[in-house]
Structure formats: structure tokens, C-alpha cells
Amino acid sequence: MHLELLSNINSPKDLRQLDPNQLEQLARELREFIIDIVSTKEGHLGASLGVIELTIALHYCFDTPEDLLVWDVGHQAYGHKILTGRREVFDTNRKLNGISGFPKRDESPYDTFGVGHSSTSISAALGMAISSQLKGDFDKQHIAVIGDASIASGIAFEGLNHAGVTNANLLVILNDNAIGIDPSVGALKTYLTKAKIGKKPPQDNIIEALNFSYDGPIDGHDLPELLKAFERLKTIKGPKLLHIITKKGKGLKQAEDDQVRYHAPGKFDKTTGEVLPKNDQNLPPKFQDVFGLTLLELARKDKSIVGITPAMPTGSSLKFMMEEFPDRAFDVGIAEQHAVTLSAGMATQGHRVFCTIYSTFLQRAYDQVIHDVALQNLPVIFCIDRAGLVGNDGATHHGAYDLAFLRCIPNMIVAAPSNAIDLRQMLYTASKGLEHPIAIRYPRGRGTVKEWKQDFKAIEIGKGLKLRDGKDLAVLSLGSISSEVEDALNTIDNSFSIAHYDLRFLKPLDESMLQSVFNRFENIITIEDGCMKGGFGDAVLDYAQTSSYKGRIHKLGIPDEFIEQGDTKELYDLAGISSEKIKDKIKAILNP
């Protein structure tokens, strides 16, 4: 791969030495470089390919990092990273000890704000702009790049609403490509689709109504037009918005044609663009598909069942129900707070609501979980996908905190199936009607059970299982981390006799099982794929104290620190919850 221009660019200062007529060639080289690396190393592809020209124009026209550039979500920031000194290490992207897949403040001064969740850019950039004014700097530029899916989120509108009554030097760039991870939804999307390059929608402009100076729409792949627009906008004070229209996956035909799949396609042929086949035959299913297919089965039998997701129909596998029952399955867009309160509203009217949401995104709706669901004791069924350590997306996406932050909420049932069969049966149990809200958390990826599609059978709430007996030590696990425990026990020295209990519920705890364990064992290990502070281990410790347990309880789980990116197995080892680390802990306790 010959990179005549890109190989000499180690910072935006180098970029600004180029003639404007060289930028088109640079755009081609930058696209080729990203495709070449991501095709073998994996990562987010389509979003970055869609903003190549925009990225070049921003760093060419603005004095970054003195001018402050904020990317929303960060899926689209690969070109930005490569142009800001990280080209030589870009092949470490999303790997253990490598660079993050998202902008990260301690990685580069050009990453002005750490992101991974959507819709934060306008508020952050506005905060920076107001700070500049307070310091007497009225010339510094502050730019927020946000997509049409992200700008529909509540926090984005809050930022726009505030910015419109300030004279902050803020430029919002609306990158309009009609898609986030899945296609954009909602009334704002309908409004934006009426906009064409060079032509505003005919009705009142919602952005101008918020006191923004509005420019566009312009072609976001037309470099000369972008440069001209930025030079003009730099001279305009106060809040302003440039509406650009782009194509996600631009420059790779397959990515343009199948934008959902090529958001993060895995490995693919860089020449043809074809995704390389994976040998998925005879593998256990993904937990998300067990959820989606089981929910569809239940919905066929019960018309009161509805499904709700905030912008993740494909990732959560709610797509199966959406395809068959589009009037009972809802993608509400990037609006987690709305998703939870919408669920609560429907629950008041007798619907059995399955709200499927990633653990890391449920954090954004914590008040709604407490105030709108639990306080009113509404039986919303939260299906919490991507719980625990999720791998290469890193700290912004790990579902490390749901056990701890849900455990303290009154009325909330908290369940963690260890395998696909338990997940299926918990979904069935919840569908038959509960008196309280329930959270069912499960991990990203595949389980260990192939024959998961068994006849429905209700599970007793708050009851665990003894998976194996033993006499020297007891391991208490919660959730899918049970498989790591079983791997450890299957390979440990036969001189050890270890019992294993799967609690299945954090709340209510199986107190009768715990009493039995307390009566038999002097040493107990608790293990969870969640933060140890306030989680499962602490719940067992709390109960042990009230029961006057005299033995020792050893906690394993995610430590009190943010875990960065890497393969899930690597991160399990780093956190001390891999099968090898479990074996080491058992040996250390029994052979001190």
C-alpha cells in the first residue's frame, strides 16, 4: 500500500502544509489505510469511511488542538486518530494495551472529550465554549460533530436548547447519513430526509427555531465545498449548525450497500469487501439470539407482550419480533430514558413489556428505573444485554455496574442466568406475570449450551442450584461466569474437593441455600462478572454477617478500576475471574 501523502502526516500541522488540491488524494489514501487495517484487525468501519472528507477538512481549516473538536460517540473517529499522530500504532486499535476504539482524553490532546456513548458532544462542546468566554478567549473555535441518530437524543436537544440562548462560539456539524448502527427512526429523521443538498426542508427549520444560524445541507464528501463552508463559519460568532449529507461506508461498495452489517463487520477481504465467513456451525447460540427468538415464541402466544429497545434492534435481536410483529416491537431511537418510561407507561395498562437494553446504556436511565418503574412497582421486564466485560469496546461499553446499581433498588428482582436454558426459562417465567419489576442480565457472545430450545418451565424466583458437591471449599457464582468456574474445577487437582453453587438471583438471594453453605464450609469464594463494590459478593457478605457466619468469604469480581479494551478472555484474566485465576485462588486458600 503506497501512501505518498499520508505517510508524511504525523499531525494536523503536517496536513496544513498540503495544497488544497492534494486533499482529494489524501482522502483516498486515508480510506485505503483504514480499510486495509480494519479488514484484518476488525473494528468499526462504516462510520469512519463516511467522514473522511469531513475529518480532513476540519483539521485543515481549524487550528486543532487549540481549537476544540468533539466527536459524538466516536465510532467515526478512526481518520481523526490517524491524522493526529496515531497512524503507526493504529493496528493496535481496540487491543489490550493498544489505542482505544474511541476518542480518549489521556490518549491524545486532540481527543478533547472521551466518548463511547452517544449524544454528549453538543453539551460538552458548549461547556468548553462557555469556559473559553469566561477566560476572555472569544476567538477559540469549538466544534461538535454529531449524527442524525444521536441528535435526536434528549441530552442533545438539551444542549441545543441551552446553546440557543448563549452567544457561545459553537459550531455543531450535523452529519446526516440516515443511520446510526441501525437505521435512524423518529419524526426528526422524517424531517431530515426531506432535506437535499442545497435545499432545506420546506417547513419551519427546527434548528433555526432554536436560535442557531443554520447552513446547508451540503455534500459532506465535497472537500472544496466543506473548506469553503468552514472558512465562512469561522467568521460567524454565536451558535451555528452546518448540515452535511454523507453516506456511511463511503468508498467501499459493500459497506455502502449494507450499512448495518458493515458498521463493525469483523474481518473482510479488503479488495472485494466481502466479509470473511465464520464457521458458526455447531456452535452454541449467542445469548442475544436466545433472547430474541424466545421472546418471539412468547409473543406469538401472548398478545399482551411488547418489546422496546433504544436503537439496538439488531444488536439485541429484538429484530426477530419487529419483523413479525412490527406494531408490538418498538425501536425508540437513542433515547434510553424514554425507553424505560415508555415501558412503564405501557405496563400501567396491562402490557407485559420486555425492555431490552445494553447494560452500559441502562446507566443512562437510572432515574427512570427508580422513579418511573420501581417506585410504582411496575412489572417491567428489563433484559440487560452485554452485561459484564464485553471485550474490545473497552471501558465505555463494559456492563460492570448493573448488579451493584440494581441491587439497592427496592422492589427490583435481579436475575443472572448462567446459560441459555436458564435465560429462556427466566424470560418465560417473567412473561407469565410478576408482582415486581425484574432485571435479567446476560453477557455478550455465545454461551456453552447448544440444545437450549427446551420446553418452557417456570423458575422459582430467588432459588439457586447446586451444580456439584464438595467438602473442602464452596464456590458461589452468579451468571454466565459459572462456565469459568466449571472450567477451573474440571482441570483442578483431584486432591481438592470443591462444591459449586449457581445462585441465579442476586435479589432475592437464596438464603436457605446460603445457610446450608455456611453450615458446611469454612471457606467460600464468591465470583461475579460485575464490579465487586456493592455487587454479589457484598450481598453474600451482608447476609453472612446477619447469620453470624464465622468462616472466610473471598470475593472475586471486577476490581474498583476501569477495565480497558481487549479480548474478553484477556480481560477476565486481568480482572482475576478467568478459570486459571479461579484455580490459583482455590489453591492459595487450601494450600496457604
> Which three-class secondary structure state does DSSP give residue 567?
coil
At 10, the amino acid letter reads N
Does 118 carry a binding-site annotation? yes
Burial class (CB in 10 A: 0-12, 13-18, 19+), 199: exposed
Query: Cα dihedral angle (318, 321, 323, 327), rounded to 10 degrees?
Result: -110
Q: Alpha carbon 119 to chain centroid distance?
A: 13
Does 72 carry a binding-site annotation? no
Query: At a CB cut-off of 8 Å and minimum separation 6, what does 322 contact?
Result: 307, 313, 329, 331
What's the CA gap between 459 and 474, in Å, rounded? Answer: 23
Instruction: Give 505's strand partners.
Output: 415
CA atoms within 13 A on the CB side of 29: 18
Using the 8-state DSSP alphabet, how is residue 55 labeled?
A: H
Does 142 carry a binding-site annotation? no
Number of alpha helices (DSSP H) and beta strands (DSSP E) in the chain: 24, 17
What's the CA gap between 302 and 400, in Å, rounded? Answer: 33
Asked if 397 and 360 count as a contact pair (C-beta separation under 8 A), the reply is: yes
Does 48 carry a binding-site annotation? no
Asked if 591 and 493 count as a contact pair (C-beta separation under 8 A), the reply is: no
Does 470 carry a binding-site annotation? no
Asked if 99 and 86 count as a contact pair (C-beta separation under 8 A), the reply is: yes
Does 177 carry a binding-site annotation? yes
What's the CA gap between 336 and 361, in Å, rounded? Answer: 7
Query: At a CB cut-off of 8 Å and minimum separation 6, what does 223 contact?
Result: 20, 23, 24, 27, 53, 56, 57
Does 148 carry a binding-site annotation? yes
Counting every residue written for the chain, the total comes to 592
Asked if 39 and 267 count as a contact pair (C-beta separation under 8 A), the reply is: yes
Indicate the helix (H) or strand (E) that contains 110: none
What's the N-to-C CA distance of the chain in angstroms? 56
Burial class (CB in 10 A: 0-12, 13-18, 19+), 281: exposed
Asked if 473 and 443 count as a contact pair (C-beta separation under 8 A), the reply is: no
Does 435 carry a binding-site annotation? no
At 324, the amino acid letter reads E
State the catalytic residues. 248, 336, 364
Distance of CA 508 to CAs 460, 524, 544, Å? 11, 19, 15
> Which three-class secondary structure state does DSSP give residue 68?
strand
Angle at 579 between CA 575 and CA 584, to 5 degrees: 80
> Phi then psi for 320, rounded to 5 degrees?
-60, -45
Query: At a CB cut-off of 8 Å and minimum separation 6, what does 316 contact?
Result: 288, 291, 292, 309, 356, 357, 358, 383, 385
At 288, the amino acid letter reads Q
Does 149 carry a binding-site annotation? yes
Which residues participate in the annotated binding site?
75, 116-118, 148-150, 177, 336
Which residues participate in the annotated binding site for Mg(2+)?
148, 177
Which residues participate in the annotated binding site for thiamine diphosphate?
75, 116-118, 149-150, 177, 336
